[in-house]
Chain A
């Protein structure tokens, strides 16, 4: 158990809908990362937050947004869903030390199915 929790485990929804995925980082970690894992693209970095502020952005679509709250949990919002958004979404957390790449611990993931 990495100490990172994600809810829900599974989500089934329809095209055009909006969903929210939730992540609670390990105790003491200030950084939260979101990744998308699909069969064709592999594990892709979406976005990072550090202590409530956006720190880095990857291949995140404009239809997707995220935020990190004062209690450090994070939410990833996916809107206008398309079939191609079906994937595993992972949250990871780390201490968030500036200037070096510190260890990221991954949660169990949320499996999103768009029908």
Chain B
């Protein structure tokens, strides 16, 4: 079993829809949680960064961490075709630099 599980999709939704992306993890010691966006043939770029539990909002993006359930989510409101990309969750331990990534979910927003 992988440390971080993420449904690879693909996920296809119409423009303007609310998108929900999720990851589950097995290591309860993870403290830092991130979402990266990766466009085709590009490197991952950081979207959201959360420490421990709670919610964080940045524009149309909201990240949620539920440590009791070992479950993290990324919500995208008013989705745009430019949001079409692969979304990767990542997490790390306190004091550690190594990131453990999910498999990535391939998202397509249809105009």
A interface residues with partner B (beta carbon < 8 Å): 2, 4, 31, 33, 35, 42-45, 48, 50, 55-56, 58, 90, 92, 94, 96, 98-109
Contact in complex: B43, A90 (CB < 8 Å): yes
| A-side contacts of B102, CB under 8 Å | 42
A42 and B104 within 8 A (CB): yes
Query: What are 9 A-B contacts with C-beta separation under 8 Å?
Result: A31-B97, A42-B103, A48-B97, A55-B97, A56-B96, A101-B93, A101-B94, A101-B97, A107-B43
Is there an interface contact between A94 and B97, defined as CB atoms closer than 8 Å?
yes
Task: Give CA–CA (A31, B45) in the complex, Å.
Answer: 17
Asked if A90 contacts B44 (CB within 8 A), the reply is: yes
| Chain B residues close to A by CB (< 8 Å) | 31-32, 36, 42-46, 49, 88, 90, 92-104
Complexed CA–CA distance, A85 and B71 (Å): 32
